[in-house]
Amino acid sequence: MPDSTLAVIISSVGRPAILHETLLSVSRQRRAPGQIILSVPDDADVAPETRRLAGLSVVHGGLGLTRQRNSGIAALARSVEVVAFIDDDVELHEAYLDRVVGTLRDRPDVVLVDGRVLADGPDISRSRARRIVASDDAPENRPSRDIGPELAYGCNMTVRRRVLARTRFDERLPLYGYMEDRDFAFECARLGRLARCEAATLVHLRPPGGRISARRLGFSQIMNPVYLWRKGNYLSWRNLAWQVSRPLLTNTALALAPGRTTRRRWSQLAGNCRAVAKILRGRIAPEDITRL
């Protein structure tokens, strides 16, 4: 019997086959969600066989992860009390939803909970991911642990519905929404504790192929952390300095080194430099990524 108080929201674009396999993972859950919402920009983003799955609804929320997740939130049924946001490229242990819901039930102080990622792509096939979660022997009563907002992982975040009455995903973080999970988690941390349910396990496949160009990714690597810091959703100056300097140093080193990724790293570095130039001129605007 589906749990009418539980909903799953998945945002996707351009990956109907991968999305379908993730939905099959959701369909095998011991605790079936009462509502499954797919938020996509276009009809072609959802395969015909996916549309035939039970309990599924599709909403068109435009393009961009934060925008699509907010569109999914707007489509929630009134009965929903717990909302799980998962990426379109994960494989869930069959007890995943039951255990994250159990954490929220047992810990009223917690407003956001994520699970333990057993493996994180990009070289993981779906069949291997299924074997990994099937072989996981984490005890059901394994205790959750508190985490800071900088550790919440956006590929799987479950929140209480009442949190969504106070905050949303920031649509100024467009397209892939780099660091949107950190931003959202900091907002949630103002309302209660965040936790990781160690007994709720999954695999993040992270299939090859970027969702945005290398230049746009490079821009976001610099601009988005600075934007979050200005909002107050960052730990410290030191943490920010590390987050910004790391891609600059890494992309510079790999752009100068011979190899197959040299061209892409030059593009990322160009995006890094474009963001730095804008910030030095006083413009902190993640949405400028759409103009690159």
Q: What is the pLDDT along the chain (292 residues), one digit of tens a residue?
A: 899 999 999 999 999 999 999 999 999 999 999 999 999 999 999 999 999 998 999 999 889 999 999 999 999 999 999 999 999 999 999 999 999 999 999 999 999 999 999 999 888 999 999 999 999 877 777 889 999 999 999 999 999 999 999 999 999 999 999 999 999 999 999 999 999 999 999 999 988 755 789 999 999 999 999 999 999 998 888 999 999 999 999 999 988 988 777 888 999 999 999 999 999 999 999 999 999 8
pLDDT digits (tens, 9 = 90+) for 146-194: 999 999 999 999 999 999 999 999 999 999 999 999 999 999 999 999 9
Q: What is the DSSP letter of 142?
A: P
Domains, the chain, ordered by start? 3-204 (3.90.550.10), 214-291 (no CATH)
- Name which of 79, 28, 85 is nearest 53 in CA terms: 28
- On whether the CB atoms of residues 15 and 88 are closer than 8 A, the answer is yes
Strand extents, DSSP E, 13-154: 33-40, 56-60, 82-86, 90-92, 110-120, 145-146
**CA-CA-CA-CA torsion for 190, 195, 200, 206, nearest 10 degrees?**
60
